[in-house]
Amino acid sequence: MNCPPLPVRVRAVLFDVDGTLADSVPMIVAGLGDAFVQFAGVRPSAETLRGLIGMPLAAQMNLYGLDSSLTPLPERIAFTMDRFAFHADKSGFFDPAVEALRACHKAGLGTALVTSKNADELRGFLPKFPARGAVDVTVCASDVDRPKPAPDSARLACARLDVAPADAILIGDSIFDLQCARDAGVTPIAVAYGASTEETLAREHPAALISTPAALYEWVSEHLTTLHAT
């Protein structure tokens, strides 16, 4: 399935969080692995766990034979969030990507965080996020009935920013981000330095495939803040 080229005028940029702005993949892999060991008696491979990043935590917790009759979902989620906190030293930020968000905001483009984090996770994340003042709106998994890869999150972000989906792009590192964007009518942009490989992302036919955080900042500077923010 082919994706459209960049809109003639981009009015809003939607950013995924984990693996796009936040260098949190090692933390998530470790925390999810601990949770599966605790509740399913198995630790999937790191490659498998990376493939789950971009799904809401509630969906992740229903995989690998986890028995909800033995351990209710809220308890599994709480345990996993505790393990993420335990492994927090494995997390940081992709500084050039964060600067790309700042540059979009400074240029007058609407900015949104569109994340599969739940509300509790997002509340814990935002005070630590160095560019929170450059974020106009946020949409998390708890804000919609159908989180990524469904289009609801991207559509809600556009509605909160008062822009048409056709005038927005979504930047993300997983196939769930790209599918969410495409089905919402938002232009998908892939970054290949997070959870997914370039080959995996290329199969979703993003409008652009960007290899590094530094390249993302350069791409934003060339294609968005100069050409589209007038």
Specify whether 77 is located in the same domain as 143.
Answer: no
Distance CA 22, CA 42 (A): 27
Distance CA 129, CA 144 (A): 23
Q: Are residues 67 and 160 in the same domain?
A: no
Question: How high is the pLDDT of residue 64?
Answer: 64
Tell me which of 39 and 114 has the higher pLDDT.
114
- Supply the Cα-derived Rg of the chain in whole angstroms: 17
Residues 100 and 80 in one domain: no
Q: 188 is in which domain, residue-wise?
A: 12-23+91-225
| Predicted TM-score of the model (pTM) | 0.89
Q: Output phi, psi for 129, to 5 deg.
A: -80, 120
Task: Output phi, psi for 5, to 5 deg.
Answer: -70, 175
pLDDT at 1 over 50: no
> From CA 208, how far away is CA 76, in angstroms rounded?
37
C-alpha 210/C-alpha 225 separation (Å) is 17
Same domain, 85 and 96: no
127 CB contacts (<8 Å, ≥6 apart)?
A: none
Q: Do 95 and 209 sit in the same domain of this protein?
A: yes
Residue 198 maps to a domain: yes
Averaged pLDDT for residues 175-202: 96
Res 230 pLDDT > 50: no
